[in-house]
Amino acid sequence: MRTNFLLTTVFFFLIIFSSKGQDFRLGKVSVEELKEKKHPKDSSAVAAVLFEKAENRFVYSQDKGFEIELVVKTRIKIYKKEGYDWANKKVSYYLVNNLREKVSFSETVTYNLVDGKIEKTKLKSDGEFDEVINKYWGQKKITMPNVKEGSIIEYQYTLHSPNIGSPKDWHFQSDIPVNYSEYSNYVPEYFVFNTNVKGFIRPTINVVKNSRSIRIDSKERVANGFGGPVSTNYTSEDIDYTETKTTYLAENMPAIQDEAFVNNIRNYTTSLEQELSMTKFPNTMQKMYSNNWEAVVKTIYEYEDFGPELNKTGYFEDDLKVILSGLNTQQEKIAAILKFVKSAVKWNEYYGYSCNDGVKKAYKDKTGNIAEINLMLTAMLRYAGLNANPVLLSTRSNGISFFPNRTAFNYVIAAVENGDNMVLLDGSDPFSEPDVLPFRTLNWLGRLIRKDGTSTAVDLMPKKSSLELKALNYSINDKGEVLGKLRSQKTAHTAMVFRNEMKGVKKDDYLEKLENNNNKIEINEYSLQNDKEINLPVIESYSFTGNNLSEIIGGKIYINPLLFLTRRQNPFKQDVREYPVDYGYPFQDKYAVNIQIPKGYKVESLPQSVTLKMNDDLGVFRYLTNLNEDFIQVSVSNQINASMVLSEDYIALKSYYQKMIEKQNEKIVLTKI
């Protein structure tokens, strides 16, 4: 598959919205801004960021050294009631030990125009909240007062962080238009960062160097002669250094338009990422950090809550011996160990590649986070004599990192290597199988770490197609009523998605929804097989009757062969698409249809057979029909052979779907003999 889509040049024809005359200072809201009824370039916008300015500085204190202070000033216009959520702001902060961060809000005001005059409403203490999300993260939140259609809100927040290695990412684009977004970064000469600006619209960048200094105070105890009094001498020294100010400016950024089958829209929108790569303090050796992926994973492997946890033993061996008894093949051992881990330890919904309480406690308590479950799984696989190692990855919601850094990963799974083959495993999902990972993990590449410290990239995207096979048999009477049976069989990821959707759902509620979504059919004799036996296809079957599945016009019966299974609309509506189409996994949908013709009728018109193929067989659609005495046979299949279709193939994909939908919507016409 071609993977250079991020290098594709994309031209945006934007109407320039002038920012001249605007005052980018808090408290300087104008009457003209308050009078504005809709966004000048996007009348559908529910709100807009009028300006957002950030300054990221390295501040020095003698007891703590350099730390980061991020100050963000924001002005937002609310156009519609649907935009009221933009009057709330959340800022997360890290809670752990010496990397604990602090967040504070200030200058929080709502502005309204009342009788032609500007009315200010300040945020009171009851509109600010401080929450603990988990043991790692807290959250400061404000809810602005007196918000109406037409309001403007302003706020400033300050984030103080000792974690100089990973400044917060900055997003120039948002779900609403952004008129002006400016990020200024002030970096002392002692620090070198990897930076990456991603997205299809590039900000302008300006670099200025300035001279700065810090004062170092010291004291020394001095004895005045042998046995004499002791005095303290105080000295100060100014240390000069060069500070580089880099300003990134983006104007007139359109709202992010989410599209069908997008992995994570923020992977493709304009934003800035930074990661410390080197420090070079005076009179000391240069220290390298995340300059390549090998260095990154080596650092992570050496964390006390990763590598050492992987090597702990003495807590599962006796139980595992019983599970492995009588098993000889690698496939049998992998399947048995994965099943055992899933039954022994339940996921507590926390991500991360670091253990919280450790693998031993997780095993004892029967609950743990992602790292505890999958490092435990890796250790058990090794105990069984398999070549197993952990694989670090970033979930779909966490996005894709485009340069080496320690915060790129937020998840870990297990892998078993056997020559050139690799089996990927995740013990956190009750419906996972070998090489059938939870959808959240299907995100480009991971990084496998071996015992000897070497690492290699791992393609996380499935190669084997997930199958959904539907057998549809029905008859039609002279009133156009349909009586039939449907049997559906699902495998791999298609089965996993279905099982997760069905988890905790009451049968009656599911059937009611199924009936309503399928032209108000009436379902009976429903059965579900293998919903818990994940090594087998999940099978769903039922009988149905329907009075809304055909039309009688002029004594003729018109009917879609696929009935309620017919695809009606093309999911791809944009003329041009900048992002790849990300299905997550290749798949094949197959339909085998048998239709009994009502007595006294014959076929007047039957859709012709056709085969459609997309570029390089990325997609193959087959539609075959056959008339056999009183029966019509229709075979339909849609096969997408790649997990991802690049943006350069979007036009072909859209056309492929359109032709497929048009074919599916062709009707059989039955007329009286």
Residues 466, 471, 475: CA angle, nearest 5 degrees: 155
Question: CA–CA separation, 623 vs 621, rounded Å?
Answer: 7
Nearest residue to 173 via CA among 2, 49, 263, 301: 49
pLDDT at position 227 is 59
Same fold, 5-21+45-211+244-287 and 294-459: no
The residues, any chain, with a CB within 8 Å of residue 135's CB and separated by 6 or more, are 95, 96, 356
For residue 471, count other CB atoms closer than 10 A to its CB: 15
Domain covering 466-672 assigned CATH 3.30.950.10 in the classification: no
- What does the alpha-carbon distance between residue 580 and residue 405 come to, in Å, rounded to a whole number? 24
Q: Which CATH number fits domain 5-21+45-211+244-287: 3.40.50.300, 3.10.180.10, 2.60.40.3140, 1.10.3720.10?
A: 2.60.40.3140
To the question of domain 294-459 being in CATH 3.30.413.10, the answer is: no
Looking at residue 518, its pLDDT comes to 95
Helix (H) or strand (E) holding 521: none
Instruction: Please write down the HEC assignment for all residues of 569-607.
Output: CCCCCCCCCCCCEECCCCEEEEEEEEEECCCCEEEEECC
- pLDDT (tens digit per residue) in 94-135: 988 788 999 999 999 999 999 999 999 999 999 999 999 877
Q: What is the separation of C-alpha 116 from the centre of its chain, rounded to a whole number of angstroms?
A: 45
DSSP state of 609: P
C-alpha 644/C-alpha 4 separation (Å) is 13
pLDDT in tens, 396-424: 999 887 777 777 899 999 999 988 899 99
Q: Which of 135, 146, 436, 404 is nearest to 292 (CA)?
A: 404
Number of H-type helices and E-type strands within the chain = 10, 36
Distances (CA, A) of 388 to 104, 414, 428, 456, 602: 46, 7, 17, 14, 63
pLDDT at 3: 38
Which position has the token pair 């009631």?
A: 81
CA distance 37 to 42: 11
595 closest CA partner among 488, 471, 470, 473:
473
Distance CA 427, CA 15 (A): 51
Cα(601)–Cα(632) distance, rounded to whole angstroms?
Answer: 12
555: left (phi over 0), alpha (psi -120 to 50) or beta: left
List alpha helices for 1-81, DSSP H. 31-35
DSSP state, residue 615: G
What pLDDT does 619 receive?
Answer: 97
Check the CA dihedral 271-275-277-278 and report its sign.
positive
Residue 61 identity (one-letter amino acid) = S
Q: β-strands 346-347, 367-368: how paired?
A: parallel
Q: Which residues of the chain have pLDDT under 50?
A: 1-20
Q: What is the pLDDT of residue 15?
A: 31
Residue pair 79/149 in contact by the 8 Å Cβ criterion: yes
Closest alpha carbon to 441 in 470, 412, 466: 412
Domain locations along the chain = 5-21+45-211+244-287, 294-459, 466-672
CB contact at 8 A, 160 and 213: no
Yes or no: say if 60 and 186 are a contact pair by the CB < 8 Å rule: no
The pLDDT of residue 241: 95
